[in-house]
Structure formats: structure tokens, C-alpha cells
Chains A and B, each alone.
Chain A
């Protein structure tokens, strides 16, 4: 946590991430609404695509560099860059600068951009200090799943807990082995499908033991757990934290 709160901006960029773009676009839109609710102007550079993480983690740094370089060029104003995904934010914040060890000019730009990257939940808590005490909706029990890289690189679990426990009528239930990976790991889920499948099976079981709905700040984990639960015929479904917050703020959900 920051000892001193960073200055409150009036304009921000949104980096929507490739998974949200194609599979969970409403989560991106809800992130925009949450930011606008706090009086910010949200800029969405239309040339954006992906942070390059799939290539980076699978041992293809040249391809990751190519994709990252195309994104870095899009954030020339000194505004914060809000990312509704902890693992993508971690990639941008911590790994983008390491991709350009051989190109000092681009590395300097990557560092500048990386320094402005915020994960959405962290941004709402740390920078905007949002007040959600007026949110409504039926009493509901939800689980929280935090992506491993978000937890370890961006502190997202703490922020998720803070946001959800501030909502009236929302009970946050802790599931067994909460800190354990859901088994997604990007290309890992394809390359070692059986191991990944065994891990997500256990995650579905421990979440299902406490709730039918879970909230997460990472779409990779969300799709992994939800589609595994669906495959097993279990009712467990995940929702992006931006969508859950927006719906509670509208008095629904």
C-alpha cells in the first residue's frame, strides 16, 4: 500500500486486455463506468490489443516484444493506465521494461508507461479511495478468487477484499486453499491440459463448497473456473469485479 495517496487524476487510459475485448467486453465497459462514476474522463486508445503475456510466458520474447512495443506507443499522455486484469497489469508494470534491454530508447518509454500502470481494483482503492457505502441489492454471498500474478505482483487480493467488504449486503466467503492457483497459466492450460484440469477441478470444488458465485479481477482465471464448472455441470459462475461492483452500485445483483 502507498504511504501517501498519489494525486487524483482527472483523465485516465483504459487498457482493456485481449481476453476482455473478445470474451467479456461488458467487464471492460463496467470498468469505464466505475471510473466515470468518480468523475474521470476515460480514454480508450482504439489501436490497443494485448499486453503480450501469452508469448512472453511461453518463451517467445521476440513476439512479446513486438506486441508490447505496439502498445507502448499508444500512451503518450502522462495519464494513469488502468487495466481491469491483474496479470496483464503485472506484465505491463513489471515485465515490459525487461523486454527492451537491447533498446534503451524504447526501454525508457516502456519504463514510463509501466510506472503509470494500475490494476483496476487497486486504482479504485488506492488512488480514488472510492466510497461504495451507498450500494444496494439483495443480500448475497460471494467468493473471491485472485489471480496468482495479480496477488503477487499487484497486491490485488487486498484491494478486492476491501472493495467487496465495503458493499452493504455482500458477504465474502473464504474458500479452502484460497491462495492456490486455479490452474490456468495461459498456454499451460493447453500444453499440460491434464495437470491444469486437475488443479481447476479442485478450485471449482473448494469454491462450490462456499458459494455459487465468485468475483475475480482476472478474466483468465474467471473463464478457466467458470468453463470448468460448466463442464462438470456445477452451478458455480464467475463475474468480473467491475461488473459485480457496477451492478451493486445500481442496486441490482
Chain B
């Protein structure tokens, strides 16, 4: 898990990065312990299975309801925000989203941006875009700040710097922050970071934040956080720009409540986060503080492709808690950077194909044992294994095949050779006669079983068929010779 370039990596690099991540045993053990710690913390917040399942049902229902009425709710959200003086912008692509924000900054003559945590801003690579145009962006979430200081990308959607040890951070601060010495004292490290950030909040022209739930009925943006940086980013600078994917809307305040309970418990194992910010527009006459202008940027970036498909739409139920990655045996072994996507882990594996196309992300849907740990903890019951299988099917589809809702990059994994192997396989297993022949050959010629069996024998001894198949044994039994 070395330093990341700013841009997404290619599928070829996915495998390379996996090998790199797996080669470092010490790091792997540390990281896996961190995941186990997070699993235990989450479990401690859900002691009662009946209550848990009822709440998950509610969370799922709320999200499904929102998606079933998505266009209408987005229009309602826009109208209610506008009535409160919020300027609403729509972006189809990452470039459009960045350009909108750059235009706002230019018009205001803004040079300095302070950012609360926003995965959508990571998705559109906003920092990179603005820095290249002379606008300075500083991450104010401690994890994001660390990752930015190190020139990396987040490796987890809730804990961006989870891949770093305190020694890594001590060295980083010593190198990058003038006048700071090496210390492994976590409180001292956090104090250092906070001091740097505190000054910058006061200097910033624009504060940028994400959104956890956007409530259509009231025109409210709900933001959860633990550090207070989200509140500062959204209240101190003169301009606040919030960013969200179009799926984050919910119908009513009441609908947001179960999600607000599920999110911190699933994400960090907290009953509630330290801050709940409910933001309903810029400063009004008579207000003592708050931004003078407020904007919301709504991003599509492939989400409408998932929305258009009845099964894949469930991808958009996600509330970005990260529990799926904490519980994933693959994520726990390879870490977030290996995926090369903004959203790593199981949710990233089902979301990224819509954001980036299946061509660029074709190795992701297959990188799962389909163990189901993700779906078991998902607070809104996204059937992640089924969606992974569906994406595998779409990736395998013949590129030209006519389907009602083609996915970008459909057929990216199609190979005539593989298709023929599966045809051949099904031809054997669907035919009793051919399968009998296979059994006969496998058991009689078992000594000829190859010593090298593709990926299997990289980590295991070879498989050798038995001398007699179960079919043979049952046949012998039926003939009254059960002893054989």
C-alpha cells in the first residue's frame, strides 16, 4: 500500500497492487487486526438481533422508497433548497462538477478552500482540478488531511488513513509540517494537525462538504461527523458548497432517522457521531454566523445507469458506512488502495463499474469469494453478492449482444475461449452419458492428474480424483456389494 498517484489505476495494476499488498506480512497483520477491531465495535452496537433486523428493514425500505421516487424527490429537494436561498447545480460528469465549483470560486475571487470530508469530491478529483487552476484546497478531516499531506488517496471511505500506522503519521508530520518533531503520541499528533487546520478555517474563502442525507421535504442537508471540522467548514467561510451523488436524497426527515441511527453504528461502532449538522440554507438576516452564499452540486457520473436497471438500482441504496469493507475478507487482505477506485471494497466493486465502465473495472466484480459477509452487515440490505454475479454476467456477455439496458463496457471480459470452456463444461454436466465418461476417465486415469492446476496449486497441493466415484460406489451397493 504505497503512495498513490492521483489517477485511477488500470485493471492490470489491480493484480499488481494485490501482489504488492499481500507481500507485506507485517502490514497485512496490522491491517487485518484493525478490521477485526472495527467488526467488534460494530457488533457491540447491535446487541439485539431482532431490533437490528427491524432497523435494517426500515433502512432498506426508506432507501428503496427514495429510489422509487428519485426524479420527483430530486425536484422537490431542488425547489425546497432554492426557496431557502441555496443555489442548486447539476453535473453529469466529474469534469462538469469540478468546473461548476471552479466557476463559483472564480466569480467570488476565492483562492483558498477548506474541505470537510466528501467522497464525491474524491470521486471527481476536485483537489487536483482546483490546485491545477491556482485554488488551494485543504482537507480538514484528520484522516483526509493525513492522506493529502502524504500525496495519497483515501484507502477507506470512512477512515481514509486506516492503512497508516502511527509511526507512518509521526514521520509524515515530522517531514511535512515545519517545526514539528517526531512523536508517536497520538494525542500530540492530533493536536498538531488541529493547530494547522484551525488557522486555515479562518483564512478560507470557501468551505466544501459532503452530504449524508438530503431531505427533500424540508430542503435540509444532514451531515454527520466526529471532529467538528464539518461544522467549521460549513459555517465559517463566506461560501459553502455541498456535494452529493444524486442517490443521497430521502423523502422526509422521519425517513432520515433510521439511517442516522444505522450509519454511525455500522460505520465506526458509535451510537451516534459527535456532530449531527442539519443545514438548511445560508445565513439569514439577523443570523450571527453561517455562510453568506450556499450551493449544492448534484453529481450523476454513471449513477443513472445503475438506476435504470431494476436489479442494479439496489447499488444506490448505499449510505457509505463502509461496514462491507470492514467485514470483507478480500479488503482485509489487500487494503483499499489495491482496488484503484475512489470507493474500495465490496461497495466499490458494485458501484465502480457504473462510474468507470466495466472495461476499466472488469477485475473488480470477480475479486470476491461471494462469502456474503458484506450483505450480512449492510445496514440497508444491498444484496452485494447477487449484484457482483450480475456484473460478472454483464462483463462476460458478448460485446454486441442486444440487451434492453446495456452497461458501459458490457462484454469487457468476454472471451470466446472462456465461453467455449463453459459451453463444454455444461455439455458434460447436462448429459448423463458424457458425465459418465468424464467420471470414468477421471477415476481410471487419476494418476495422470496434472501437478500444476492453474491458480489452485500456487497455494495448495494438487487435487487428485478418487479411485471410485460416488456413482461407482452407489452402483456397487445397489448390486448388493456395498463393501466396495
Closest to B442 in A: A22
Do B459 and A200 touch across chains, with their CB atoms under 8 A apart? Answer: yes
Set of chain B residues within 8 Å of A23, measured between Cβ atoms: 463-466
Q: Mark A1-26, 1 if CB is under 8 A from B, else 0.
A: 00000000000000010101111111
Set of chain B residues within 8 Å of A70, measured between Cβ atoms: 429-432
Do B460 and A224 touch across chains, with their CB atoms under 8 A apart? Answer: yes
Set of chain B residues within 8 Å of A46, measured between Cβ atoms: 432, 471, 474-475
Do B461 and A231 touch across chains, with their CB atoms under 8 A apart? Answer: yes
Q: Which of A131-139, A189-197, A245-253 contacts B (4 or more CB under 8 A)?
A: A189-197
Set of chain A residues within 8 Å of B365, measured between Cβ atoms: 59
Judge if A201 is at the interface, Cβ distance under 8 Å: yes
Judge if B479 is at the interface, Cβ distance under 8 Å: no
Set of chain B residues within 8 Å of A223, measured between Cβ atoms: 463
Within 8 A of A (CB), among B403-423: 413, 422-423
Do B430 and A67 touch across chains, with their CB atoms under 8 A apart? Answer: yes
Do B422 and A25 touch across chains, with their CB atoms under 8 A apart? Answer: no
Do B470 and A20 touch across chains, with their CB atoms under 8 A apart? Answer: yes
Judge if A174 is at the interface, Cβ distance under 8 Å: no
Closest to B460 in A: A227
Closest to A61 in B: B393
Do A191 and B461 touch across chains, with their CB atoms under 8 A apart? Answer: no
Do A196 and B463 touch across chains, with their CB atoms under 8 A apart? Answer: no
Within 8 A of A (CB), among B432-484: 432, 435, 439, 442-443, 454-466, 468-475, 477
Q: Which of B186-194, B258-266, B318-326, B366-374 contacts A (4 or more CB under 8 A)?
A: B366-374
Judge if B172 is at the interface, Cβ distance under 8 Å: no
Do B459 and A231 touch across chains, with their CB atoms under 8 A apart? Answer: yes
- With A49-B432, A63-B426 in contact, is A199–B455 under 8 Å at CB? no
State A186–B392 Cα separation when bound (angstroms). 14
Set of chain B residues within 8 Å of A114, measured between Cβ atoms: none
Q: Mark B166-188, 1 if CB is under 8 A from A, else 0.
A: 00000000000000000000000
Shortest beta-carbon distance, B29 to chain A, in Å?
9
Set of chain B residues within 8 Å of A57, measured between Cβ atoms: 370, 389, 392
User: How many interface residues does B have (CB within 8 Å)?
Assistant: 66
- With A44-B474, A55-B422 in contact, is A194–B429 under 8 Å at CB? no
Q: Mark B23-60, 1 if CB is under 8 A from A, else 0.
A: 00000100010001000000000000000000000000
Judge if B93 is at the interface, Cβ distance under 8 Å: no
Do B466 and A185 touch across chains, with their CB atoms under 8 A apart? Answer: no
Judge if B90 is at the interface, Cβ distance under 8 Å: no
Set of chain B residues within 8 Å of A69, measured between Cβ atoms: 430
State A29–B481 Cα separation when bound (angstroms). 13
Q: Which of B132-140, B237-245, B327-335 contacts A (4 or more CB under 8 A)?
A: B327-335
Do B389 and A59 touch across chains, with their CB atoms under 8 A apart? Answer: yes
Closest to B482 in A: A29
Q: Which of A75-83, A103-111, A121-129, A175-183 contacts B (4 or more CB under 8 A)?
A: A175-183
Judge if A60 is at the interface, Cβ distance under 8 Å: yes
- With A21-B439, A194-B19 in contact, is A59–B395 under 8 Å at CB? yes
Q: Which of B392, B457, B459 lies at the interface centre, i.e. has the most chain A CB atoms within 10 A of its CB? A: B459
Closest to A153 in B: B372
Query: Chain B residues in contact with chain A, CB under 8 A?
Result: 15, 18-19, 22, 28, 32, 36, 329-330, 333-334, 365-373, 375-376, 389-396, 413, 422-423, 425-426, 428-432, 435, 439, 442-443, 454-466, 468-475, 477
Interchain residue pairs A-B with the least CB separation, the first 10: A59-B392, A185-B369, A193-B455, A197-B459, A63-B426, A181-B371, A227-B460, A148-B371, A47-B432, A25-B470
Could you pull out 30 A-B pairs where Cβ atoms are within 8 angstroms?
A16-B470, A21-B469, A24-B466, A29-B477, A52-B426, A57-B389, A57-B392, A58-B422, A59-B389, A60-B426, A63-B422, A148-B369, A148-B372, A153-B372, A179-B373, A181-B329, A181-B369, A181-B371, A181-B373, A185-B371, A188-B367, A189-B455, A191-B455, A194-B22, A195-B18, A196-B455, A200-B459, A227-B461, A230-B461, A231-B459
4 additional contacts, CB 8 Å, given A21-B470, A197-B459? A22-B465, A57-B392, A70-B429, A195-B22
